[in-house]
Structure 1
Amino acid sequence: MSFQSVRAVFVAAAAFLFVSLAAPAAHALPAANLPDFTDLVDKVGPSVVNIRTTAKVRSNPNGLPPGMDNGDMSEFFRRFFGIPMPTPPGGGGGGGKANPGNPHDGGSGAEPGNGPDSADQGDGSNDTEQDSGVASGFILTADGYVMTNAHVVDDADTIYVTLTDKREFKAKLIGFDERTDVAIVKVSATNLPAITIGDSNKVRVGEWVVAIGSPFGLENTVTAGIVSSKSRDTGDYLPFIQTDVAVNPGNSGGPLINMQGEVIGINSQIYSRTGGFMGISFAIPIDEAMRVGDQLRTTGKVTRGRIAVAIGEVTKDVADSLGLPKATGAMVGSVDPGGPADKAGVQAGDIILKFNGRPVDVATDLPRMVGDTKPGTHATLTIWRKGQTRDLSVVIGEMQPDKPARADSRSKPAPKAPTTDALGLAAVDLSSDERKALKLDHGVLVNVADGAAARAGIQKGDVILRVGDTDITSVKQLESVVKGLDPSKAVAVLVRRGENSQYVPLRPHAQK
């Protein structure tokens, strides 16, 4: 056997051995288990509806732009063309009269739109119905209740709901809530395919989810992705579910569905610089939506609790300077005089750690907890004040419309102070009139802020309420407290600006 023959046999044997060894290894690799959404869509699809809204707009029967009458157009034609304005069909131009015997000439015949139900206002204009938007929704109950977004229906004059079997119904608006962007409408139908409600508290980051809706008016469109994040705070009452599901204009109000075919959220918002999908979409958790929806179905409105405080986040620096074990809770910036919190003894600068025993991990937890509490209920606030916790009993009030911010009531400038202290502050005492106007029983007015105070954002006109755990009642006391501060440690200074207060951590410079 020649050398070439031996080499060929060797190569063939090596190749066979490689394939024999590689085949089991390749076979051992697990097959990718990609989800199949077909059965899920068959189950849930009929519960998703298309919502079309219309609005009445005023149009001119002569086809003129809004706000322009025949006289304006006559003048336009006379000036620029040197001719009378052409008379449109119907004889309405140039002051001509319509033929009363011909309904197509705008007379009193029985042409649609000219009868006794016409929106003719007698001023040459009519109200006509035009499409104002297309969105999505889903059937809550077999007897016709449908859930969607508030922004879909709030300005609509007429709401149409179309099912997947092409039946269309004119819907009645039961109620909507702008704070949570949830709305309920009702159609007159029975035996409708109601959707299955899931539990948004059990949603896990990374799980597969599906959206069904009408993006850009394309009905019954299915897209899929995963949950990207939970409890994404973008509003007082909306801890959104963030996903990478393709959601576009028209998907609003449609359901976000888990792999069990349960709705876990309402697709509500997208993050976009172009108006289209960019990989970030937000859904209202269904638990939040159902709490709102139940109230809307019962009373047509949503009632929320309130304790009448303005709150802010507790930063790590503030927590450290106040002796809090960690940065948690909601810092009270201001308390409405005479409100529930004021009556309970809550003060600006308090840190609310718990509401009815439930931890307030971040500031935005508190409005949700209070808002979900029925007005008139007695609740317990656990607060941190001057290095210790205490419980305060509060009677929950009812949420009122937002009040416009009031202007600063101080009317005269403070006298000038020559030097600043170790915190960079120079202050003057508040007059009795100023304290009365500001509704304060202590505090001093900042006249100069430099050094550490200026770097922290304190300004002339702010009021210093507290340094560390000491309430400041006079400039003399402030000077004494600041002189006793340790330059190696930051101290929390409670500062009021306008009607809001917040802690500012300051590190004093060494005294000369």
Structure 2
Amino acid sequence: MTQATNALALSATAPSQRRIGRLAASFFAVMTFVATAMPLAASARSAPESFADLAEEVTGAVVNISASTTVEARNRTLPQLPPGTPFEDLFEEFFNRRGQGNGESGPPRPPRSSNSLGSGFVIDPSGIVVTNNHVIGDANDISVIFSDGTRLKAEIVGKDSKVDLAVLRVKSDKPLKAVKFGDSDTLRPGDWVMAIGNPFGLGGSVTAGIVSARGRNIESGPYDNYIQTDAAINKGNSGGPLFNMNGEVIGINTAILSPTGGSVGIGFAVPASTAVPIIEQLREFGETRRGWLGVRIQNVDDATAEALSLGSARGALIAGVDEKGPAKPAGLEVGDVIVKFDNKDVKDSRDLPRIVASTPVGKEVDVTIVRKGQEMTKKVTLGRLEDGEKQASLQQPPAEAPTVTRQALGLSMSGMTDELRRRFSLKDDLKGVVITRVDPNSSASDKRIQAGEVIVEVNQEPVTNPADVTKKIDDLKAQGRKSALLLVANPQGEVRFVALSIE
């Protein structure tokens, strides 16, 4: 029985064993393929065995920046003591002995020097050095210190406070070691990078890490587009280069996010794609020459996109057009959404200032807009950005006779009257429908609409009395629309678009 049972068992399991054998062979073949394939994938993504060769190759081009600013010292005032106090002579003798004077008759204190240390790098063997603007500030004595100890006086070629860049020039009796810029647009989060600089005065310090993110906006200026890295960056690293693994500069270390003052693994660098055009302008002109469109813009949220029939939230919504700017004669209007500029997509409002600023002054460009749901292209010849041209000058349609108060969308509205103009200190030429009250539980309150503001347009059509507003809202409801787009002006006449739900 036992032998029979064993025989039957062998007979029954033999096919299974053969199948197992075939599966094992297949599995072995698959594992052999994976074993041979994995090293290729790993080698493409693995960390270098050492950064030493790369550091040795580029360190000679990285410099320390010493900037000194001479400031006038103030004489300290002798503490006010009651006449005849026994301490009066003591304090006067102490201050005069230290050369600080008493604020009236004591000897003047000599000017004092304020020093700052930072980093930089050579981009031209003839002696062109790049650093951060905040490293040199208003310094009147700048020195560039090389890795071999050589110290050369530097002059300022040009500087830009908006992107925090400065270009210096030193004179050397021999060509200097220089590095080149790389393509920062090809960076991906996770790519290896290496920073070299002068943290806390410790020159020639090398740190390495990865690209943590791209396109960071830290609200430091109008053109924020930082590379974020976890390579250690500390005070003194400012102005130093961030290298890719080819030894190319793909960023300029500029800022850190730190509650302690030291590196916590969050550092920011100006990408090469942003820096290079500015550096070229500073070298050629000694100043920046940014393109200027002459519009005031705001972002497009989902509700605004629906009201404008955009399909999705995208582009930059024009909230104001400068009467003297290039956009006006080109036919751009308030309410237009710029979705493409000079063949570059405008994904949100932050993109447009960077693209416009980097476009040459005087260039004629195609600007693709969406107006009332229809896409069209306008040609604009760019002007030059002027710091004083920040506010748009808008003209509003003439007002009609005021009407009685009405309510809609959580807003109490009234026609324009002299009494309301005085009560809310409204600008003389401001026309439209005055908001007299906002329901605190309404969507309008959530969007920060306030009493005293003025509705200028509803869905890009002018309104002059509350009846206009309610009629247009009723029309939108009849069309099955979910939101109404209001152009709202504050008492000073500055306007913004606000999309309110009408469901």
Q: Same fold (TM over 0.5)?
A: yes
How far off is 1:373 after superposition?
Answer: 2.0
Give the match for residue 25 of structure 2. Answer: none
> How far apart in 1 are the matches of 2:317 and 2:340?
12
Identify the match of residue 459 of structure 1 among 450, 466, 472: 450
Instruction: Show the 5 A alignment for 1:301-320.
Output: 301-320=287-306
Give the match for residue 176 of structure 2. Answer: 192
Say whether the 8 Å CA contact 2:405–2:415 is kept in structure 1: no
> How far apart in 2 are the matches of 1:123 and 1:371?
52
C-alpha spacing 1:349/1:89, structure 2 compared with 1 (3 Å): closer
> How far apart in 2 are the matches of 1:321 and 1:91?
72
> How far apart in 2 are the matches of 1:301 and 1:321?
42
Identify the match of residue 448 of structure 1 among 423, 437, 442: 437
Say whether the 8 Å CA contact 1:57–1:127 is kept in structure 2: yes
> How far apart in 2 are the matches of 1:401 and 1:79?
56
Instruction: Show the 5 A alignment for 1:151-166.
Output: 151-166=134-149
The amino acid of 1:383's aligned partner reads I
Tell me, yes or no, if structure 1 residue 49 matches structure 2 residue 63.
Answer: yes
Task: Give 3-state SS (helix, strand or coil) of 1:389's partner.
Answer: strand
How far off is 1:129 after superposition?
Answer: 3.1
How far off is 1:294 after superposition?
Answer: 1.1
Tell me, yes or no, if structure 1 residue 177 matches structure 2 residue 168.
Answer: no
Q: Which moved more, 1:337-346 or 1:280-289?
A: 337-346
> How far apart in 2 are the matches of 1:93 and 1:269?
38
How far off is 1:346 after superposition?
Answer: 2.3
Task: Give 3-state SS (helix, strand or coil) of 2:407's partner.
Answer: coil
Identify the match of residue 490 of structure 1 among 482, 489, 495: 482
Tell me, yes or no, if structure 1 residue 480 matches structure 2 residue 471.
Answer: yes
> If the length of structure 1 is used for normalisation, what is the TM-score?
0.78
Identical residues among aligned pairs (%): 36
Tell me, yes or no, if structure 1 residue 34 matches structure 2 residue 47.
Answer: yes
Task: Give 3-state SS (helix, strand or coil) of 1:484's partner.
Answer: helix
Give the match for residue 136 of structure 1. Answer: 119
How far off is 1:274 after superposition?
Answer: 1.4
> How far apart in 2 are the matches of 1:334 and 1:420?
27
How far off is 1:157 after superposition?
Answer: 1.8
Say whether the 8 Å CA contact 2:72–2:110 is kept in structure 1: yes
The amino acid of 2:367's aligned partner reads L
The amino acid of 1:475's aligned partner reads P
How many residues align structurally? 445
Unaligned runs of 5+ in 1: 1-23, 60-65, 96-121
C-alpha spacing 1:484/1:415, structure 2 compared with 1 (3 Å): closer
CA RMSD of aligned residues (A): 3.6
Identify the match of residue 251 of structure 2 among 238, 259, 265: 265
Task: Give 3-state SS (helix, strand or coil) of 2:239's partner.
Answer: coil
Tell me, yes or no, if structure 1 residue 506 matches structure 2 residue 500.
Answer: yes
Instruction: Show the 5 A alignment for 1:9-20.
Output: none
How far off is 1:353 after superposition?
Answer: 1.1
The amino acid of 1:167's aligned partner reads T
> How far apart in 2 are the matches of 1:78 and 1:470?
79
> How far apart in 1 are the matches of 2:99 and 2:226?
55
Task: Give 3-state SS (helix, strand or coil) of 1:370's partner.
Answer: helix
How far off is 1:418 after superposition?
Answer: 4.5
Say whether the 8 Å CA contact 1:492–1:506 is kept in structure 2: yes
Deviations 1:115-160 (CA, angstroms, capped at 9, x unpaired): xxxxxxx972322434x21110001111111000011112212111
Tell me, yes or no, if structure 1 residue 324 matches structure 2 residue 313.
Answer: no
> How far apart in 1 are the matches of 2:144 and 2:386?
33
Unaligned runs of 5+ in 2: 1-30
Say whether the 8 Å CA contact 1:142–1:193 is kept in structure 2: yes
Say whether the 8 Å CA contact 2:314–2:346 is kept in structure 1: yes
Deviations 1:218-245 (CA, angstroms, capped at 9, x unpaired): 1100000000111223342231111111
> How far apart in 2 are the matches of 1:479 and 1:126?
72
> How far apart in 1 are the matches of 2:289 and 2:243?
28
> How far apart in 1 are the matches of 2:235 and 2:322?
40
How far off is 1:202 after superposition?
Answer: 1.6
Deviations 1:40-62 (CA, angstroms, capped at 9, x unpaired): 00001111001111111334xxx
C-alpha spacing 1:209/1:291, structure 2 compared with 1 (3 Å): same
Give the match for residue 75 of structure 2. Answer: 67
Say whether the 8 Å CA contact 2:230–2:265 is kept in structure 1: yes
The amino acid of 2:230's aligned partner reads D
How far off is 1:329 after superposition?
Answer: 0.4
How far off is 1:417 after superposition?
Answer: 5.2
> How far apart in 1 are the matches of 2:96 and 2:427?
68
> If the length of structure 2 is used for normalisation, what is the TM-score?
0.79
C-alpha spacing 1:203/1:390, structure 2 compared with 1 (3 Å): same
Identify the match of residue 218 of structure 1 among 181, 202, 215: 202
Tell me, yes or no, if structure 1 residue 206 matches structure 2 residue 190.
Answer: yes
> How far apart in 2 are the matches of 1:399 and 1:377?
13
> How far apart in 2 are the matches of 1:497 and 1:424?
17
The amino acid of 1:454's aligned partner reads S
Say whether the 8 Å CA contact 2:217–2:225 is kept in structure 1: yes
> How far apart in 2 are the matches of 1:210 and 1:94?
52
How far off is 1:384 after superposition?
Answer: 1.5
The amino acid of 2:407's aligned partner reads T
